[in-house]
């Protein structure tokens, strides 16, 4: 598929905004960190459905994940 160049920056901004909203929507749908869904029983209302509320992970499951480190590295690659 051929790619056409777009000279109108308004189109680029509009499409970028759509991508940003889609990313924000995906993040909004995530559950809280260190939680899992656990089945807590049925709900009967015309049809039987399950209730899956979030529960925090136990401390012993989180402890091995805590020693996470990060570093900021500045790179200055040569411009070609």
DSSP secondary structure string for all residues of the chain: -PPPP---HHHHHHHHHHHHHHHHHHHHTSPPTTEEE----EEEESEEEE---EEEPPHHHHGGG-----------PPP-
| 49 φ, ψ (degrees, to nearest 5) | -125, 160
Evaluate if residue 67 carries a pLDDT over 90. Answer: no
Evaluate if residue 6 carries a pLDDT over 80. Answer: no
Q: Provide the pLDDT for residue 39.
A: 94
The whole-number average pLDDT for the span 13-32 is 90
Q: Provide the pLDDT for residue 19.
A: 94
Assign 3 a pLDDT band (cuts: 50, 70, 90): low
Nearest to 51 by CA among 65, 32, 37, 69: 37
Residue 75 CA to residue 22 CA, distance in Å, equals: 31
């Amino acid at each position: 598929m051929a790619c056409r160049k777009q000279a109108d920056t308004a189109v680029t901004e509009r499409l970028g905004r759509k991508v940003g909203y889609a990313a924000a929507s995906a993040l909004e749908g995530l559950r809280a960190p260190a939680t899992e869904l656990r089945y807590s029983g049925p709900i009967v209302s015309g049809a039987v459905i399950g209730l899956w509320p979030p529960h925090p992970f136990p401390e012993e499951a989180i402890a091995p994940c805590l020693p996470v480190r990060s570093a900021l590295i500045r790179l200055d690659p040569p411009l070609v």
